[in-house]
Structure 1
Amino acid sequence: MSTQQMTSLPSVQARLSKVPEITIWFWVIKILCTTVGESFADYINTALGVRLVATAIIFIAVTAVVLAVQIRLRRYRPVAYWLTVVVMSITGTLCTDLLTDQAGVPLWISSAVFSAALAVVFTIWFVRERTLSIHSIVTVPREAFYWLAVLVTFALGTALGDWTLELTGWGPGPSILLPLALIGIVTALWRFGANPVLAFWIAYILTRPLGANIGDWLGLTPAEGGLGMGTFTTSIIFLAAILATVAYLTISKADVVEHTSNKAVPAASPARRRTTLGILSAVAVATIALLGYTNSLPHESALAAEGPAAGCTAGSAPLTRSEAQAAAQAHFPASNITEFRTITSDTLALVKKGNQPAAAARVTDLETAWDDNQPALSAADCAAWTFIDQQIDPVLSAVRSDTPNPATERAVLNDLLKTLEGA
């Protein structure tokens, strides 16, 4: 997707462009950034135990700082630009995680919300500036619209990618194939004559689930279908690759607009534009049909299988309640057990009062606390972690059900509370 096809700007504007030329380097480094967004956010949140809300606050502040620096620059600088993209990738991922893990919002709702938000951003941007081309980024308002759109695409890509895994149950390896195939189709249609701005933004969104799935595939354990490199190692490798690529681009200026050919590329005919738009629509319908079909097949959500404890009890007999209580008491921090017990008791009290919205909100606190401490607890005693995890899952399902049954809620909550009190 070349600069000439993206827009036709006067040369003086091109020299002031705040974005890189759209070459193969752009897409390589974009995928590297999205992989880091997934793996580094997971590492900070879970492995370091910073927790989701605190991690989000940290990166929102970092985003504000790097964005301020980027906007103050008068032209494209690779280091500043791609640092902003990396931070935006992490922050966008955390926005979706906050809705899903903290607020308990279903992924299909998150996907719809971010889709609507992106449509609003694009609409206002186009009405005001009459273009959505990234190579029209020569004023502060246009750059503000651009970075807002980038942030929303990262959040949307995260939600769509996770929702796909939830619907299909695909593992981290096979899950790479769908966004990769869709990007290939969009690229072929762009070469045939699709609207370059539309093709660019579709590909931009799709690189997010592609990069995230690559990160999961590299970071998850072999038992989970990954290569077992871990989130920290994956983040370091991809950050090093980003640094090397940015260093090369800074020296070579291979992605600087004024260093590209000024040879005009003839626009595609209206007939080709209409044809590619029809094909894109057909591909969208086919993708939805594929996801619907795979969702109808028996499967376990790939998201539910993620985490260090997945498959950790293979080859060993499950614990009894008393064994799990003794193991948890011996190996889990007392502060963690107390926190889980307090949240469970609060949720049970709210259920008994008939305050279902508050109970659903409180049980999400349990899910967040449990997930945040998962790496440490499963490493301390995997069997005990698995026993309690298998009691927490029905609690979450019962309390957050669209048609909650108070008797079922009380039963599963009391069952979990009995285990936690014994621990």
Structure 2
Amino acid sequence: MNKLPNQMTSAWLNKVPEVTLGFWIIKIMSTTVGETGADYLAVNAGFGQAITGSVMATLLAIALFVQLRARRYVPWMYWLTVVLVSVVGTQITDALTDGLGVSLYLSTTVFAAALAGIFALWYRSEGTLSIQAIFTRRRELFYWAAILCTFALGTAAGDLATEALGLGFQLGVVVFGVLIAITMTAFRLGANKVLTFWIAYILTRPLGAALGDLLSQSRQYGGLGVGARLTSVMFLVVIIGLVIAAQRNEFFKTESAQ
């Protein structure tokens, strides 16, 4: 069946996935992997913050280069980049907090202001913050800058809530889960879909971080004692399975469109 030009643009040129239940599941799990993976490499594996940060930043730069050169959305490429952004975003916040002693209150405020600045420049340049039309290089650069900032902000806000404010991991999961549910309800009731998307996207980061800490941290610190390595592996397996399904779906969509 032939498609209209605007449908072709959406289906073939948009560089990000459709926002479905699978999207949110992978997103939350990738944030958890970012939290537990960064902790495992820096602490458990003994690489330290500096080496882990340098290696992950290099891998992210390579992944972004490949992602930017792609002509359309490729599930494995996109989600690999998201996972690496998650790790690097966590590393940035951890380096500021643990390495430089920057207050979580300050880092949360700075990252929130930085994200607001990115959104302001993006909207001024493109007239929209929608992710349904990411098919130019400039829009994609704005998109990935915002994504990186949301991960850094989410890490700082999550740590601020669960550690500095004393919510703990279990209550943190509940609180951020409820906030996401409220956001989704507002969307269902007619709230602006672009605004609610980005609010939910930001909130999934502290939710994933709290969930990762809840599973990986020892019981004496309020966790379940699963461990960072096992938690990362379990979530990566689920992510890989969902991405393979998405990749197959994209393949069949391509075949049917030809």
Cα RMSD over matched residues? Answer: 1.9
Match of 2:8, as an amino acid? V
Q: What CA distance in whole angstroms lies between the structure 2 residues aligned with 1:212 and 1:131?
A: 29
Cα distance, 1:168 vs structure 2: 2.8
Which residue number in structure 2 is paired with residue 109 of structure 1?
A: 106
> Is this contact kept in 2: 1:92–1:152, CA < 8 A?
yes
Is 1:13 aligned with 2:9? Answer: yes
Which residue number in structure 1 is paired with residue 62 of structure 2?
A: 65
Task: Identify the match of residue 204 of structure 1 among 201, 206, 211.
Answer: 201
* TM-score, normalised via structure 2 length: 0.93
Partner deviation per Cα, 1:43-95 (whole Å, 9 max, x = no partner)? 00000111112211111111100000011100101000000000000000111
Choose 80-89 or 161-170, whichever is displaced more.
161-170
Cα distance, 1:225 vs structure 2: 2.1
Is 1:95 aligned with 2:92? Answer: yes
Q: What CA distance in whole angstroms lies between the structure 2 residues aligned with 1:153 and 1:255?
A: 32
Cα distance, 1:228 vs structure 2: 1.1
Label 1:110 to 1:249 Cα distance change in 2 as closer, same or farther (>3 A).
Answer: same
Is 1:75 aligned with 2:58? Answer: no
> Is this contact kept in 1: 2:33–2:212, CA < 8 A?
yes
> Is this contact kept in 2: 1:21–1:255, CA < 8 A?
no
Which residue number in structure 2 is paired with residue 293 of structure 1?
A: none
Q: What CA distance in whole angstroms lies between the structure 2 residues aligned with 1:150 and 1:113?
A: 15
Equivalences for residues 122-271 of structure 1 within 5 A: 122-253=119-250
Number of residue pairs the alignment of both structures matches: 251
> Is this contact kept in 2: 1:66–1:80, CA < 8 A?
yes
Q: Secondary structure at the match of 1:10?
A: helix
Q: What CA distance in whole angstroms lies between the structure 2 residues aligned with 1:148 and 1:171?
A: 30
Note the residue ranges of structure 2 that are not aligned, 5 or more in a row: none
> Is this contact kept in 1: 2:108–2:157, CA < 8 A?
yes
Q: What CA distance in whole angstroms lies between the structure 2 residues aligned with 1:10 and 1:251?
A: 24
> Is this contact kept in 1: 2:154–2:202, CA < 8 A?
yes
Query: Would you identify which runs of 4 or more consecutive aligned residues in structure 1 move more than 6 Å?
Result: 254-257
Cα distance, 1:254 vs structure 2: 10
Partner deviation per Cα, 1:218-270 (whole Å, 9 max, x = no partner)? 1112222222110000011111111011011111349979x9xxxxxxxxxxx
Note the residue ranges of structure 1 that are not aligned, 5 or more in a row: 1-8, 260-423
Partner deviation per Cα, 1:80-132 (whole Å, 9 max, x = no partner)? 00000000000001111111111111001001110111011111111111110
Partner deviation per Cα, 1:249-305 (whole Å, 9 max, x = no partner)? 111349979x9xxxxxxxxxxxxxxxxxxxxxxxxxxxxxxxxxxxxxxxxxxxxxx
Q: What CA distance in whole angstroms lies between the structure 1 residues aligned with 2:30 and 2:156?
A: 17
* TM-score, normalised via structure 1 length: 0.57
Q: What CA distance in whole angstroms lies between the structure 2 residues aligned with 1:179 and 1:57?
A: 30
> Is this contact kept in 1: 2:107–2:156, CA < 8 A?
yes
Equivalences for residues 377-416 of structure 1 within 5 A: none
Is 1:120 aligned with 2:117? Answer: yes
* Higher relative contact order, structure no. (Cα contacts within 8 Å, ≥ 6 residues apart): 2
Q: What CA distance in whole angstroms lies between the structure 2 residues aligned with 1:28 and 1:98?
A: 27
Match of 1:13, as an amino acid? T
| Identical residues among aligned pairs (%) | 47
Label 1:191 to 1:162 Cα distance change in 2 as closer, same or farther (>3 A).
Answer: same
Q: Secondary structure at the match of 1:132?
A: coil
Q: Secondary structure at the match of 2:220?
A: helix
> Is this contact kept in 1: 2:162–2:210, CA < 8 A?
no
Label 1:256 to 1:36 Cα distance change in 2 as closer, same or farther (>3 A).
Answer: farther
Task: Identify the match of residue 30 of structure 2 among 14, 29, 33.
Answer: 33
Q: What CA distance in whole angstroms lies between the structure 2 residues aligned with 1:104 and 1:53?
A: 15
Equivalences for residues 268-279 of structure 1 within 5 A: none
Q: What CA distance in whole angstroms lies between the structure 2 residues aligned with 1:25 and 1:77?
A: 15
